[in-house]
Amino acid sequence: MCGIVGILGRHQVAPIILEALRRLEYRGYDSAGIATVNESRLDRRRALGKLVNLSDLLVHDPLPGKAGIGHTRWATHGAPTVANAHPHRAGRVAVVHNGIIENFRTLRAELAQVGLAHESDTDTETIALLTRYYMDQGMAPQQAAFATLDRLEGAFALAFLFQGEDDLMIGARQGSPLAVGHGEGEMYLGSDALALAPLTDRITYLEEGDRVVITRAGAQITDAQGRRANRPLTRVALDQAMVDKAGHRHFMAKEIAEQPAVLGAALGFHTSPEKTALALPEGLNFTSTDRLVLVACGTGHYAAQVAKYWFESLAGLPVETDIASEFRYRQPVLGARMSAVFISQSGETADTLAALRHVQGAVAQTVGVVNVPTSSIAREADIALPILAGPEISVASTKAFTAQLMVLLLMALKAGQDRGHLDAGAVAGHLATLQRLPGLMRAALDREGEIADLAQGLGGVNHALFLGRGPMFPLAAEAALKLKELSYIHAEGYASGELKHGPIALIDEMMPVVVLAPRDALFAKTVSNMQEVLARQGRVVLVSDRAGLAEAGPVPESLVMPQVPDLLAPFVYAVPAQLLAYHAALVRGTDVDQPRNLAKSVTVE
């Protein structure tokens, strides 16, 4: 979603805000803008498209001032245009916003009646105009901003800046995250601590409904009831090396390559020092759980679908998986013997957070499987399980997916143990198998050259299918999602056995069909389905190990993967899925880290 930053500084802020926006650009890149206060002037610069355009604009038309706000936009209301770019300004106030104001049409009509017309199609300009209206009525800036906030419905993180007020910035959080940064004689606001990383490591996270009045001397927070609130100041350790490309061409390439280390670290963190027993939080217990629901969006949902196989086979636990945006609006049957797990890299995805809130108090336990430990889902779930993937900057999720799988698998082992399906020895056996994972991931990464060659063949196609059975079925869906979002090739993931029930009609010599098939118990069946494709001149690419490729017989194209234990296949086969999409994007020349129309951390419904 949109990224927000605000600085009350000691130096010229526009270049510093620009740098901070660079670290937030993954949240949206339809347009960007900065407003500053300089002596008695409030001025702004806005540019369409990526941040580089704003940066070019500022070279020719600098923006002086030591107080400023900035924004990088993912369009919701109004097309990506300069007029719709933030900051929005009305009279003496400028505003940047992440989220959606649901009652903006009503407010807009009210403002039109008093002669305050909009210049943009956005809901954000309504906030600026309403604040202007209150200021025109004689209210002081803070009073006007607070009166405006009282009228807003929806989800937002906001920062206000006022003409003539070089030492004042107001922030508000309702449904979208906002952090306050404390510097030396400087203060900051940011959508996340990452944006503020080089400026300060001292962060206060605002809570739901909080408003903050910031001057260079500090921050005064009031809660949703208008009471003064003391929110803890935390030290955030963000190693700069974790947020740069470390010599890789793209963040995605770096994040794919990090997986062996990330998975090793996550396994180490969640197991005993000898790595023979689980070391998950005390409170996590499945003894009185007889039903589990796993809820997430996008890639997290495919991780959930893989995990369903594990919870069922290792723990005998019935599992439902659902997309958060569907789960929250149907009437899911909840109960005291049900546990609910919410999987989210960002921990801020609006639908997943709303789904969590929907079940609070109506299930035995809620568990957040998150990458950002300070996120809303981490804070609001009964138990937060960190996946420890480190900052994921590329919009397409890669290392967070396999790290989610790791934590979900460890949870499934815990459920197996709690429910008497696995004894300590069996768990230790599975953990020993998991120890092999970093090495096997490295072996899969070593196939990058061959995968890049295969991707050449995808450069000119418009459609592709991915097939898999068992846990390879959701993996096929994840592989298709990666290809779609990175290369804009239309792709679908199907259960191998389902192909003949319809999609086989799509098969012709133009249709690449990538079959993800380790040599497991279901292999022969998958091969039969593959033969059905070959018989119709489909362009099969078989991804399997040596034994599988030998057994399958001749296929037009193949990729040799390392031999893997069944439990590890979804992790290891994620690597070719990710690299195929990455290299297809390179072939087609699309924007790898920031694909069109997308944004990371989707904080609107």
- To ligand F6R, the closest distance from the beta carbon of 285 in angstroms equals 25
By C-beta, is 440 or 602 nearer to ligand F6R?
Answer: 602
Contact flags string 61-100 toward ligand F6R, x per CB under 6 A: ----------------------------------------
Q: Around Cβ 393, how many Cβ atoms within 10 Å?
A: 21
Rounded Cα gap, residues 242 and 244, in angstroms? 6
Contact with ligand F6R (CB under 6 A) among 95, 396, 465, 491 = 396
CB of 522 to ligand F6R, least distance (A): 26
Number of continuous H segments (helices) and E segments (strands) in the chain = 20, 25
Nearest residue (CB) to ligand F6R, 116 versus 179: 179
Query: Least CB distance from residue 601 to ligand F6R, whole Å?
Result: 6
- Residue 176 sits in the site that holds ligand F6R (CB under 6 A): no
Q: Can you tell me which of 76, 349, 402, 529 binds ligand F6R, judged by CB under 6 A?
A: 349
What span, in angstroms and rounded, lies between the C-alpha atoms of 586 and 451?
12
Cα 189 to Cα 185, 225, 227, 400, 468: the distances in Å are 14, 22, 21, 26, 46
Using the minimum distance from each CB to ligand F6R, give the nearer residue, 300 or 391. 300
Tokens 């510097």, located at residue: 183
- Gap between the Cα atoms of 445 and 172, Å rounded: 44
Nearer CB in complex with ligand F6R: 98/131: 98
CB of 431 to ligand F6R, least distance (A): 26
Angle separating helix axes 448-456 and 569-588, nearest 10 degrees = 50
Q: CB of 568 within 8 A of CB of 433?
A: yes
**CA–CA distance from 146 to each of 140, 187, 317 (Å)?**
10, 20, 49
The piece of 43-51, 262-270, 297-305, 536-544 that touches ligand F6R (CB under 6 A) is 297-305
Chain residues 319-348 in contact with ligand F6R, contact rule CB under 6 A: 344-346
Q: Is 124 in the site for ligand F6R (CB under 6 A)?
A: no
Q: Which of 540, 534, 552, 478 is nearest to 513 (CA)?
A: 540
Residue nearest to ligand F6R (CB): 298
544 near ligand F6R, judged by CB under 6 A: no
Closest CA to 543 of 530, 533, 532, 528: 530
Taking CB under 6 A as the criterion, the residue among 298, 332, 468, 474 binding ligand F6R is 298
CB of 352 closer than 8 Å to CB of 296 = yes
Among 397, 417, 529, 544, binds ligand F6R (CB under 6 A): 397
For residue 352, state whether it binds ligand F6R (rule: CB under 6 A). Answer: yes
Q: Which of residues 471-490 bind ligand F6R (CB under 6 A)?
A: 481, 485
Residues labelled catalytic: 2, 600
Nearest distance, CB of residue 539 and ligand F6R, angstroms: 25
In angstroms, what is the minimal distance from the CB of 387 to ligand F6R?
10
Q: In this complex, which beta carbon is closest to ligand F6R, that of residue 116 or of residue 389?
A: 389
Kindly state whether residue 299 participates in binding ligand F6R, applying the rule CB under 6 A.
yes
> DSSP alpha helices (H): ranges in 155-297?
193-196, 251-257, 259-269
Give the closest residue to 302 by CA, choosing from 581, 580, 570: 570
Backbone angles phi, psi at 39, to 5 degrees: 50, -120
In the complex with ligand F6R, the residue whose CB is nearer, 321 or 601, is: 601
Considering only the stretches 134-142, 276-284, 292-300, 332-340, report the one whose residues sit in contact with ligand F6R under the rule CB under 6 A. Answer: 292-300
Least distance from C-beta 38 to ligand F6R, angstroms? 37
Return the number of the residue (496 or 601) whose C-beta is nearest ligand F6R: 601
Query: Whose Cβ is closer to ligand F6R: residue 72's or residue 394's?
Result: 394
Q: What's the rounded Cα separation, in Å, for the pair 467 and 484? A: 15
* Nearest residue (CB) to ligand F6R, 159 versus 297: 297
Q: Count Cβ atoms within 10 A of the Cβ of residue 263 and give its class: 0-12 exposed, 13-18 middle, 19 or more buried.
A: buried
Q: How many residues of this chain bind ligand F6R (CB under 6 A)?
A: 15
Minimum CB separation of residue 175 from ligand F6R in Å reads: 15
Q: Looking at 77-85, 252-260, 293-301, 442-450, which segment touches ligand F6R (CB under 6 A)?
A: 293-301
CB of 478 to ligand F6R, least distance (A): 8
Selection from 433, 426, 400, 412 nearest residue 263 by Cα:
400
Cα distance between residue 577 and residue 475, in whole Å: 8
Place of tokens 């195929």: 580
Q: What is the DSSP letter of 409?
A: H
Distances (CA, A) of 313 to 119, 243, 308, 484, 567: 58, 38, 8, 31, 11
Q: Which residues contact residue 444 at a Cβ distance below 8 angstroms, ignoring those fewer than 6 apart?
A: 561, 562, 572, 573, 575, 576
Give me the residues that bind ligand F6R (CB under 6 A), please: 297-300, 344-346, 349, 352, 396-397, 481, 485, 601-602
